[in-house]
Amino acid sequence: MLIRAAGAVAWRPGPDGAEILLVHRAKYDDWSLPKGKVEPGEPLPVTAYREVGEESGAAITLGQRLAAVRYKVNGNPKQVDWWVARVTSVDDSAVPNHEVDQVAWLPLAQALKRVSYKQDVSCSATSPLVRGHCPAYLAAAREGTASLGVERRRRRRPPPGQGRHH
């Protein structure tokens, strides 16, 4: 049976550009992007939002949906659906908790080196923050003024008078 989970490549503006949120789980002694299992009847975006908050104390605004990642856990297939998410606030008293003993806010290159699992790196590598799919967005992210996904939607919109119905 497929295990479903959701999470986010959560970021905030830092002094040298975007900082990526990683969580450390003492039980496994690993660093990962915040994610967790879907509760019965829960929509995937709600799972992503809830898990980031529970694990890190961060409130987020979900942005662009990223490619889902599939892998096996103890022989069972697992699929994690990912989003890019802008962190809007952090409750520093939320960590440590029963799942996470510490968080780290790292520049992207350092975050990619610290994560313990290759699926987290492949997820991050599909993010516009990593691959630069949205150059205007990337520049705005460095300044802390970006709204996730806006640049991609603007590029797809036809110029006035040139839509399908004209």
Convert the pLDDT of each residue in 33-71 to its tens digit.
999 999 999 999 999 999 999 999 999 999 888 888 888
Half-sphere exposure of 79 (CA within 13 A, CB side): 8
- Please count the structural domains in the chain: 1
Mean pLDDT of the chain: 78
Residue 53 lies in a domain: yes
Residue 137 lies in a domain: no
| Among the ranges given (4-8, 97-101, 159-163), the one the predictor scored with the smallest mean pLDDT | 159-163
Two structure tokens written together for 56: 């890190």
Residue 149 lies in a domain: no
CATH of the domain at 19: 3.90.79.10
Residue 150 lies in a domain: no
| pLDDT score for 148 | 35
The residue that leads in pLDDT, 103 or 117, is: 103
Which DSSP state fits 95?
-
Find the domain containing 73 and state its range. Answer: 3-127
Residue 111 lies in a domain: yes
Residue 63 lies in a domain: yes
Cα distance between residue 104 and residue 12, in whole Å:
12
Q: What is the mean pLDDT of residues 101-126?
A: 78
Residue 115 lies in a domain: yes
pTM of the predicted model as reported, rounded to 2 decimal places: 0.74
| pLDDT score for 117 | 77
Burial letters 157-166, b for 16+ CB under 10 A, else e: eeeeeeeeee
Please report which confidence band the pLDDT of residue 139 belongs to, taking 50, 70 and 90 as the band edges: very low
Residue 34 lies in a domain: yes
| pLDDT score for 142 | 43
